[in-house]
Amino acid sequence: MNTSYTNSTGTLLIFTCLAWLLTGCNAYFYQPTRTQSARLGEETAATAQLHKLPAPQEKLVAAVYKFRDQTGQYKQSETGSGFSTAVSQGTTNILLKALEESGWFVPIERENVGNLLNERKIIRSSLAQYKENDNLPPLMFAGIILEGGIVSYDANTITGGAGLRFFGTGGSSQYRQDRVTVYLRAIATKSGKILKTVYTSKTILSQAIDAGTFRYVSFKRLLEVETGFATNEPAQMAVTEAIEKAVQALVLEGIRDNLWSVEAKAADQAKTMLLAYDQEKLAMSQTDVYGARNTVDPSRLTIQPYASVWRYSGDYVTSGMRTGYGVSADVYLSHSFGVQLNIGVGTLASDQRFSCPVSTLQGNFIYRSLPFRKITPLIYAGVGMISCRAGSSPVDIRGKQYMLLNGGIGTEYTINRLVGLRTTLEYQQPMTDALDGVQAGSHNDYYLRGSVGLSFYLGRSTRQTAPAHR
């Protein structure tokens, strides 16, 4: 083995991992090396949206008796569930703070109203002794009651990671995504009618990144280096953001349904925010629980010219790689299933020992699993014909012709309504062992073909973008 090559490769991997770790992860520079002083609570992205709500014509007096965690779920660990709950049990306090931040509500105490009534009794008793004719003002009563709670906490909705290690040097990353869902409803106190119900959700991201090396730098000299960190999005911040988003949605939907009114001078601001809110709702109707959105009208006909790389493997010990080109046409019988015609030109070669220019003609069944997404996986399989060309022209197929079986996978990215980008990797098995002129088995000659090219979309589907299933 070439020692200098191995050492340089290991050094390059070390620097690559460290650069990836340091440039892509800001949390690495803010490691807690000392104690920190108490500070004010952080604001979420939804807090700023609450502050931008148009001013109300009259604030709503709202009571919140109990806005609680209704999941009863305990925090999960590697050894099982513990006795700590997965989300905060103080969500009533979070909701009251969000109501105050919005500027639309006058929250009144109801969660611990017994304490308030006891204190008022003490005050009345004192006033009766020292001020006979002085009475307490009556308590405020609520125009609406806000109910609801945290209805679900879904752990490990998405998990994954990636890593690379070469000769003891490399790095890896792992991530996990949880999801919390909040429901909020407004009830009229005079009639008991439920005026409006909204629900929001927020994902909670946890990730870990590490890099290191473990190798002998010389005889009896071992180098071991490790670094990394993990970040966990606080569940309390996620719950706060979901509740604040629910308050914002409740206010805006109440304005739209004329349940409450804005100031006259804030009418234009309210129209702008309602338009943005309706667009957000439309986008969410096309988004699934994993955050993927259906934004593409799938085409009925796709033409794709491509460039390719062919890698031959057969009876010779060495394999060879050559370039080629071709064009394919896909006709979709439904949004996902279709048929494909593929014409390709390339060369099968094994260094200097064997070289054969070939042409292929294939018919495939093709399946795209996510036809309404900008990025969709492809899978296809079929039969075809391969011909060793007698001349230099791609259409000169006077040579021997053989049947072949093929299958492949790929990915297509839709750039706009007319053009996309497609990459594929396929395996092709000719039904002969004579392509390289050496017969040493049965169907021993095969090759891999990777391609990349533009996709031109014709005959767009007349169906509108399909909503995602929730």
Residue 34 in any domain: the answer is no
The CATH number of the domain holding residue 101 is 3.40.50.10610
- Burial class of 416 by CB neighbour count within 10 A (0 to 12, 13 to 18, 19+): exposed
Beta strands at 144-166 and 60-63: parallel, antiparallel or unpaired: parallel
Per-residue pLDDT of the chain (470 residues), as tens digits, is: 444 444 554 555 555 555 555 545 556 666 777 788 888 888 888 888 899 899 999 999 999 998 888 887 777 766 655 667 778 788 889 999 999 999 899 999 888 888 888 988 888 888 777 776 677 888 888 899 999 999 988 888 888 888 888 888 888 889 999 899 999 999 999 999 999 999 999 999 998 888 888 888 788 788 888 888 888 888 889 999 999 999 999 999 999 998 999 998 988 999 999 999 988 888 888 777 777 777 788 889 999 999 999 888 776 666 778 889 999 999 999 989 999 999 999 888 876 667 778 888 999 999 998 888 888 999 999 999 888 765 555 555 566 788 889 999 999 999 988 999 999 999 988 887 767 666 665 556 788 899 999 999 987 654 444 444 43
Q: DSSP 3-state assignment of 66?
A: coil
Contact 433, 440 (CB under 8 A): yes
Instruction: Report pLDDT for 16.
Output: 55
Domain span at residue 103 reads 3-21+43-285
Cα 40-41-45 angle, rounded to 5 deg? 135
Count CA atoms closer than 13 A to 238's CA, side-chain side.
Answer: 23
The two most distant CA atoms of the chain are separated, in Å, by 118
The CATH number of the domain holding residue 439 is 2.40.160.20
- What is the C-alpha to C-alpha distance for residues 319 and 446, in angstroms, rounded to an integer? 11
pTM: 0.72
Q: Is the same domain home to 319 and 423?
A: yes
Number of domains comprising the chain? 2
Written in H, E and C, the secondary structure of 284-336 is HHCECCCCCECCCCCEEEEEEEEEEEEEEECCCCCCEEEEEEEEEEEEECCCC
At residue 429, what is the residue type?
Q
Using left for φ > 0, alpha for ψ between -120 and 50, and beta otherwise, residue 120 falls in alpha
Q: Which residues of 97-121 are buried (b: 16+ CB within 10 A; e: fewer)?
A: bbbebbebbebbebbeeeeeeeeee
- Burial class of 453 by CB neighbour count within 10 A (0 to 12, 13 to 18, 19+): buried
Of 345, 387, 342, nearest in space to 364 by CA: 342
- What is the C-alpha to C-alpha distance for residues 329 and 335, in angstroms, rounded to an integer? 16
Residue 470 in any domain: the answer is no
Instruction: Report pLDDT for 25.
Output: 57
Residue 391 in any domain: the answer is yes
